[in-house]
Amino acid sequence: MKKFFQIFIKPKFRKTFDLSNKKSAMKLINDNNVRKDLYRTIYNYEGNVEGNQAIIDKVFLDFDPEESEEKLLEDVRKVSNLLNNKNIKHSLFFSGRGFHIFVYTNIIKAKDLINPRTAIRNFVNDIIEITKASVDYQVVGDLMRVARIPNTMNMKTRLYCIPLDQKELEYSIEYIKDLATSQRFFKKDSEGKPLDLKVYDTGTKTQLSDLEVTLESDEDLDIGELGKLDLPSCVLHSLKKGRPNFQERFMIITCLRDLAFSKSEVSKILMKFLTEDRYTHCIEEERQLDYLFNRQDLLFPSCSRIKEMGFHVKGCTGNQIYE
């Protein structure tokens, strides 16, 4: 079966490429480098470009300078040192602003794991617990995630995304920035073995296949398709309305997020069911989807709260998404 990947160019260009023919992808990259921000899907996909078709060969860790650049670099050092101590193979990149660590895994198809997002998050949770490092948690386990393409320019900083040798983490952030003023065409992975994600694969099986295939096709998705996923009745009802208000959208997004749907998948569902103006208002004007995926502390409301808001559906069996 053919394998595919996607290239994304800000703000809204995304194109799918056949993995066996990379020449056209390289032409697109070379034509746009130093002019636009360029990203590639972290994973390749077998058949359709969908989360459940991902071929998982790595875990992506994203580090951004939220506090200080010194803290940022120290966090990356801690995580890399831990991976070295555990003999886990990984590679390091300066993104032009922050850092990326790719932790290599035994190659496995997402659909062959019980819950791929949970498996990845369980591993990253261990890393965070030991190192206390600040990792961009919202992207952890997102099987549709993109990352900046190595040796392309970050248009905000005018620095390149470059590979780093392990020893270069010991230098200052200014030294690394100086390296990033030009491209570096080498890739040196650490010593070690790939991670076995199956060790971390616990939890309930996610039922994404039917939904994702339908969302990627041109066929209309009936509300009954979502019913197969055992979503709370209030969420199904609000989706079916087409014009859910802010509180209803909060219910929809937090419910799907905490049932292990990626941000990309939730966006597709909202696009399919919401009217065009309501979808645009939610995604682009209010940026409610981005906000709620950043705020993991905001949970799907309790049944009593849903009743208070007036969204209770007669015959609903209750909120059971956290059981």
Residue ranges, comma separated, of all CATH 3.90.920.10 domains in the chain are 3-200
pLDDT at 160: 98
Q: Residue 176: in which H helix or E strand, if any? A: helix 173-179
**Of 32, 243, 260, 6, which is closest to residue 142 (Cα–Cα)?**
260
Distances (CA, A) of 184 to 90, 176, 189: 18, 12, 14
- Residue 299 is encoded by which pair of tokens? 């949970």
What is the reported pLDDT for 211? Answer: 32
Q: Name the pTM for this structure.
A: 0.65
Instruction: Find the helix or strand (DSSP H, E) in which 234 lies.
Output: helix 233-241
Q: Which residue in this structure is represented by tokens 């937090």?
A: 254
Instruction: Supply the pLDDT for residue 231.
Output: 77
Question: What tens-digit pLDDT sequence spans the chain (323 residues)?
Answer: 899 999 999 766 889 999 988 899 999 999 999 999 999 999 999 988 888 899 999 999 999 887 789 999 999 999 999 999 999 999 999 999 999 999 999 999 999 999 998 899 999 999 999 999 999 887 888 888 889 999 999 999 999 999 999 899 999 999 999 999 999 988 778 889 999 999 999 865 544 333 332 333 323 334 445 555 567 888 888 888 888 888 899 999 998 888 777 888 889 889 888 888 888 888 888 889 988 988 877 888 888 788 877 888 876 666 555 55
CATH architecture for residues 3-200? Alpha-Beta Complex (3.90)
Q: Smallest Cα–Cα separation from 38: which of 77, 75, 11?
A: 11
> What pLDDT shows up at residue 229?
56
Q: What is the pLDDT, as a whole number, of residue 210?
A: 31
Burial class (CB in 10 A: 0-12, 13-18, 19+), 162: buried
Cα dihedral sign for 219, 5, 11, 299? positive
